[in-house]
Amino acid sequence: MGITYNEQNRTFMLRAADSLYAIAIVDEGYLCHAYYGKNVADEDLTYLLRLDENPFVPSKNNRDRACFLDATYLEYPSFGIGDYRECAFRIIDENGFSATDLRYDSHRIFSGKPKLEGLPATFADENQAQTLEITLKDKRTSLYVTLRYSTFENLPVIARSVSVENKGCVNIHLNSIMSACVDFDEDDYDMITLYGSWARERTASRVPLHHGKQLVDSARGESSHQYNPFFVLCSKNADEETGDAYGFSLVYSGNFKALCEVSQHNSTRAMLGINPLDFEWLLEPNARFDAPEAILVYSDCGLGKMSRTYHDLYREHLIRSKYKYSPRPILINNWEATYFNFDDKKLLDIAKQSAELGIEMLVMDDGWFGHRDSDNSSLGDWFVYESKIKCGLKNLVDEVNALGMKFGIWFEPEMVSPDSELFREHPDWAIQVPDMDMTLCREQYVLDFSRKDVRDCIYGRLKDILKSANIEYVKWDMNRQLTEVGSAMLKANCQRELWHRYVLGVYDMMERLVTDFPDLLLENCSGGGARFDPGMLYYSPQIWCSDDTDAIERLRIQYGTSLCYPPSAMGAHVSVCPNHTSGRWAPFKTRGIVAMAGTFGYELDITKLSDEDKQCVKEQIADYKKYNKLMICGDQYRLGNVNSDRSFDAWIFVSKDKSQAILSVVQIDSRISTHSRRIKISGLDENAFYKNNEDGSVLSGKALKYCGINIKGLYGDFAAKTIYFTKCDN
């Protein structure tokens, strides 16, 4: 780790583990990107900018300044001065002009990493990180743009963020402020993105770059089911263990844009940040705007190393919860067991039988408040539905606690039902455009969380509930996206700020929650996995991965999710068959193995399970308690890709000291064959020997990696097994 500045060649060298990011100040103060990739010892890489070649720098060839700007690798390109590629920064001033010319003004290098006001971001102390701030100035408008770069000890990571301050005397309207931009000299890359919809989130898609622009984005008010604020640029040969991979991840939960553009010169510009679509922010004199943080990861050893870097960074430097390295309570959620059809007696029946099997927490899901018997009423009315919870919430919680179980509860704080006391009293609290029909989705509207009075009211109701009983877990849900985006409180020239102000309001609410209840286990959810992003991980150590609990579908979902996010953050439950979403049957054992790769719990009516399945629950809980620490803290190696090989999937968790590992294998399509399946195992110490706890055999780490092992005894579609390995003493 180290950030240096060379006065002679005016270059910044950001060394992060085995990666290097180089920036140069060139002629007339233009800030250029020189290099990003594997670390090298050289201190002057300005030759990579080709400044001695046509069209030359402006001081040598001012007649072609625009050609220079349209061809060079600008570190933070602005709109309107000759670079016709996608820009990172665009404004409209009081006279309607949009051009800005950002030039180097100053810089500073310091230990540690500053916070972003009101935004989630990675954190580190002075011994763990170093930060470079480069300030650019637009002379005409007196706008100062600060580019911030942080490196972390022992991690090939660059954390980037951008701030803009108006030091002029007139208002400026900000229309685009991307968090990261990197210009690459080549175009021979593949782009990997994560796409999907409800119940099939984060499917990995890999396509080659082509001339023009390729992008994924969200304009839904959240990061979305459809696309994730994450992408990878990788070399054509990149796989799990070989090739170059550049990861881009945005620590933000609202509208985003992730773009790659191949230029006429066959260079590639990669960008990530707030979606400029329908975005505008009024910057009054002396006002400042902070863009969210982007996390860049470089790997010279393929996608696996990139993923494990993200896992380590987000566990250690983003998730703040006391649970990030602690075993999570094994919970049972009543949603797929009962939907809205439950009362306190039914919940206690579930709790009693769950406690007997070793389950540690009961979570009461949707339907406990207002007069909610379906999804058409009562959101916003956060008081107990007494005809359902007849004994009262505190008595219910006390009875569950008396069984030796913890208690959790479901909220959807951002929403309001038309049929609710809250909406009848405050219809203007919902996001809406005057004189325009309000679009319903799931029979609900979205509350205007840009308003402090709305947030104060809703948070007060939530806090009263949480203080009324010993509630130790909250599932925070959001079941619809934004439409007719307007606020009754914002002025006309600030209405387009609502998209971002809404997200800031959500962050404010969550910050209050984890501050007032520091021991609370918070799990985020948005119709399943529509807000599975790093911004949410700052407040909650786990996120409900998907409403699709089918174990076989979850293989694809959890594979894509693991490209960026640690398995310890994935909410994963065992449910009944046929599955409520897919209708598929899978063995109970397989459902447990797949769910155990995440936070693990149950989503079923345990009172209806067979004795055989109940025995399986006991065995799964014993295994989870035995191996959970390894899965939470260890390194994950993906040994199969369910997207490219539909016949099987496999993964292994390896402890940091490589002394133990647990391998999971799922056979998706059985094969009529006389042979067992052979799998090569990565991640172990190649110079050590390991004992296989299934058959007692001992093999070297090198043999396990290059020769593999034979997986026997998998019979039929969806069969699965786990194998535990321990390093031998000699």
Within a domain: residue 590?
Answer: no
Q: What is the mean pLDDT of residues 452-473?
A: 98
* Residue 584, in any domain of the structure: no
216 assigned to some structural domain: yes
Do 476 and 424 fall into the same domain? yes
Q: Does residue 14 sit in the same domain as residue 81?
A: yes
Q: Domain check: are 424 and 351 in the same one?
A: yes
Residue 604: pLDDT over 90 = yes
CB atoms within 10 A of CB 380: 29
Query: How far is the C-alpha of 719 from the C-alpha of 649, rounded, in Å?
Result: 11
Which of 547, 605, 613, 635 is labelled catalytic? 547
428 is catalytic: no
What is the crossing angle of helices 588-595 and 611-633, to 10°?
20
Residues 384 and 243 in one domain: no
> How confident is the model at residue 276, as a pLDDT?
98
Compute the distance between CA of residue 667 and CA of residue 648 in angstroms, rounded to an integer: 4
Do residues 44 and 13 touch, judged by C-beta distance below 8 A? no
Supply the range of the domain harboring residue 313: 2-317
Q: Is residue 585 part of a domain?
A: no
CA–CA dist 268, 212 (Å, integer): 10
Q: Is the pLDDT confidence value at 128 over 90?
A: yes
Per-residue pLDDT band for 1 (boundaries 50, 70, 90) equals low
Does residue 477 have an active-site annotation? yes
311 & 401 share domain: no
Report if residue 603 sits inside a domain.
no
Are residues 455 and 523 both part of a single domain?
yes
Residue 410: give its domain's CATH number.
3.20.20.70
Give the CATH number, domain containing residue 678. 2.60.40.1180
- Residue 253 belongs to domain with CATH number: 2.70.98.60
207 and 308 in a common domain: yes
- Residues 180-211: tens digit of each pLDDT: 999 999 999 999 999 999 999 999 999 999 99
Do the domain assignments include residue 552? no
The reply to whether 386 and 475 lie within a common domain is yes
Q: Do both 56 and 197 map to the same domain?
A: yes
| Contact status, residue 108 vs residue 133, Cβ threshold 8 Å | yes
Asked if the structure places residue 387 within a domain, the reply is yes
The CA-based angle 485-488-490, given to 5 degrees, is 80
| Number of domains comprising the chain | 3
Catalytic residue among 83, 477, 649, 685: 477
Residue 561 in domain: no
Shared-domain flag, residues 436 and 394: yes
- Dist CA 626 CA 230 (whole Å): 33
311 with 350, same domain: the answer is: no
pLDDT tens per residue, range 665-709: 999 988 766 678 899 999 999 999 999 999 999 999 999 999 999
133-170: pLDDT as tens digits: 999 999 999 999 999 999 999 999 999 999 999 999 99
Same domain, residue pair 440 and 309: no
Give 297-357 as a DSSP string: EEESBHHHHHHHHHHHHHHHHT--STTTTSPPP-EEESHHHHTT---HHHHHHHHHHHHHH
- Dump pLDDT digits (tens) for 51-92: 888 888 888 888 889 999 999 999 999 999 999 999 999 999
Please identify, among 529, 544, 559, the residue that sits at the C-terminal boundary of a domain: 544
- Residue ending a domain, among 266, 289, 317, is 317
